[in-house]
A and B are shown apart, each in its own frame.
Chain A
């Protein structure tokens, strides 16, 4: 059982990623090809078209770099949701074809679970309180009785989405490979003056839409310098995230905190959470940069965990689930622990 390899396909949004991981948890390849819109945000149909165009190339490249043959594969995993329908369906189609052609079992993976599991695999965290922050999700979660429970989440847009839109309003074009969060981070480092912005924390939940509206208005008024707006925007958004993480940490009394998802790469956010962890005697883990954004490796690894616990999906039932919540998924591979 422990001698297999899984090929995982990620395609929930703008990234088409393929990862190959051994059943022992060794990562052989991580290939990613992103759809970069001409202007505006991700157009689901255009992104799906991009994925369809590059799928063959990315899969071939992944196999080549992993130095294993298709016949060495044991399992195919794909991101089944949540995400953009057309993108998910493209990745699913590629996965189904591979599974049928190579006569391999297929596993549908929840994208959010995968972000947590890759964090645990790459950092060594075992039972963390997770802050999962990306373009599509903002979730504070921890494992309790069979599932990753959601203690806090955004009530409207995700923090990464908030950053993306803000950067587009800045009028800066996304440069190849440079994440919007990185652009804000660099500008914010030059900012000095804090301009008050809406700070919206409701219990352990958050809201970013008011912050975004106010920050964009500041940009349009052109009375403040851009660096100060970025600084204030980033300080406000990340303080909110850190506050709810700290509250959830006090509530769950976990001993580890894991930061995962695309926004995890931000060093200011990392620094804030590190301070909180020190104060609560919790260990702090950050997913390595190459696995923070969407990737096929996390899908492959979560596929392996599922498969080893008897979870597979027949091709004819492998419909994508665009609104599949994290807390709906049974995760039998996580050791059973109860609250308190």
Chain B
């Protein structure tokens, strides 16, 4: 491997940009967490590395773009994957017109629908984990907390967390954005599934702390 450039030190992993067999790749190295005891740390690292690479592949089968996985090294908790040219949705949202925002969030909703229809929940659907490419496609990244499940509960939590992420980061237009997400989601999952998931989200929110409607 040639020289590597650290491009992002996230909470979970460090991302290095490097040239790997003449390909521009991202090397995602999960960091050993010094605050965790080694036994717990190793289990979590290996589990998430394995799951992430497997689910990234499954997502593609479901029609959701994710980086191509070139190499997985479980010993070192490392995944070598395709570098995606583009910008995080979080970075560009403020520059968008309301129409563009609606369009992009409808598209995101469709993609989440496709994942859920294929039995995948992403687990961390923040706008930092979605990249808009120059061609206008949306690529989902960071499947580190994803799960394979068909449970409505898990899908509900997935969307609930997304709603919360939008509300805390893009509170100025959170309502319109989440509505667009649901519109897109409905295109894939159908009306009945959306009604079901909305009930679930409401139930999850009621389970939370200090909800006035309870």
A256 CB to closest chain B CB (Å) equals 16
With A205-B161, A323-B210 known, 19 other A-B pairs at CB within 8 A are: A82-B210, A137-B209, A150-B168, A153-B209, A155-B157, A155-B208, A156-B207, A194-B39, A194-B40, A201-B145, A202-B161, A204-B165, A235-B36, A249-B11, A251-B126, A279-B34, A323-B209, A325-B209, A339-B169
Q: Given A247-B12, A339-B169, decide whether A323 and B211 contact each other with a Cβ distance below 8 A.
A: yes
A106 CB to closest chain B CB (Å) equals 22
Which B residues touch A100, using CB under 8 A? none
The answer on a CB contact under 8 Å between A203 and B123 is yes
Which A residues touch B128, using CB under 8 A? 251
Which A residues touch B33, using CB under 8 A? 239, 242-243
**Does A250 lie at the interface of the complex (its beta carbon under 8 Å from any beta carbon of B)?**
yes
A62 CB to closest chain B CB (Å) equals 28
The answer on a CB contact under 8 Å between B210 and A324 is yes
* 5 A-B residue pairs with CB within 8 Å: A155-B207, A158-B209, A203-B125, A205-B157, A235-B40
Residue of A nearest to B128 (CB): A251
B157 CB to closest chain A CB (Å) equals 6
A272 CB to closest chain B CB (Å) equals 4
Q: Which of A121-157 contact B (CB under 8 A)?
A: 136-137, 144-145, 149-151, 153-156
The answer on a CB contact under 8 Å between A250 and B10 is yes
The answer on a CB contact under 8 Å between B209 and A154 is yes
Residue of A nearest to B47 (CB): A199
**Does B70 lie at the interface of the complex (its beta carbon under 8 Å from any beta carbon of A)?**
no
Residues on B lying within 8 angstroms of A by beta carbon are 10-12, 33-37, 39-40, 43-44, 123-126, 128, 145, 157, 161, 164-165, 167-169, 171, 204, 207-212, 214
Which A residues touch B165, using CB under 8 A? 203-204
Distance between Cα atoms of A83 and B171 in the complex (Å): 27
Q: Given A196-B43, A323-B211, decide whether A242 and B35 contact each other with a Cβ distance below 8 A.
A: yes
Distance between Cα atoms of A192 and B145 in the complex (Å): 28
Distance between Cα atoms of A137 and B123 in the complex (Å): 23
Which A residues touch B169, using CB under 8 A? 251, 339
Distance between Cα atoms of A251 and B91 in the complex (Å): 12
Interface string of A150-174 (1 = CB under 8 A from B): 1101111010000000000000000
Distance between Cα atoms of A249 and B209 in the complex (Å): 22
Distance between Cα atoms of A281 and B128 in the complex (Å): 21
Which A residues touch B39, using CB under 8 A? 194
Using a Cβ cutoff of 8 Å, how many contacts connect chains A and B?
92
Interface size (A, Cβ < 8 Å)? 43
The answer on a CB contact under 8 Å between B157 and A145 is no
**Does A74 lie at the interface of the complex (its beta carbon under 8 Å from any beta carbon of B)?**
no
Across the interface, B168 reaches (CB within 8 A) one of A144, A276, A325, namely A144
Which B residues touch A205, using CB under 8 A? 157, 161, 164
**Does A275 lie at the interface of the complex (its beta carbon under 8 Å from any beta carbon of B)?**
yes
**Does A246 lie at the interface of the complex (its beta carbon under 8 Å from any beta carbon of B)?**
yes
Q: Which of B164, B167, B214 has the most CB of A within 10 A?
A: B164
Residue of A nearest to B43 (CB): A196
The answer on a CB contact under 8 Å between B40 and A203 is no
The answer on a CB contact under 8 Å between B168 and A149 is yes
Distance between Cα atoms of A316 and B88 in the complex (Å): 50
**Does A236 lie at the interface of the complex (its beta carbon under 8 Å from any beta carbon of B)?**
yes
The answer on a CB contact under 8 Å between B161 and A203 is yes
Interface string of A275-288 (1 = CB under 8 A from B): 11001000000000
B29 CB to closest chain A CB (Å) equals 14
Across the interface, A202 reaches (CB within 8 A) one of B123, B207, B209, namely B123
B79 CB to closest chain A CB (Å) equals 19
Query: What 3 A-B pairs are tightest by C-beta distance, nearest first?
Result: A272-B35, A323-B210, A250-B11
A112 CB to closest chain B CB (Å) equals 9
The answer on a CB contact under 8 Å between A153 and B208 is yes
A191 CB to closest chain B CB (Å) equals 11
Distance between Cα atoms of A203 and B40 in the complex (Å): 19
Which B residues touch A272, using CB under 8 A? 35-36
Which A residues touch B209, using CB under 8 A? 82, 136-137, 153-154, 158, 323, 325
The answer on a CB contact under 8 Å between B124 and A199 is no
A312 CB to closest chain B CB (Å) equals 23
Which B residues touch A201, using CB under 8 A? 145
Which B residues touch A150, using CB under 8 A? 164, 168
The answer on a CB contact under 8 Å between A236 and B35 is no
Q: Given A144-B168, A145-B171, A246-B11, decide whether A155 and B204 contact each other with a Cβ distance below 8 A.
A: yes
Q: Which of B10, B35, B208 has the most CB of A within 10 A?
A: B35
Residue of B nearest to A279 (CB): B34
Residue of A nearest to B171 (CB): A145
Distance between Cα atoms of A324 and B212 in the complex (Å): 7
Q: Which of A68-100 contact B (CB under 8 A)?
A: 81-82
Interface string of A312-337 (1 = CB under 8 A from B): 00000000001111000000000000
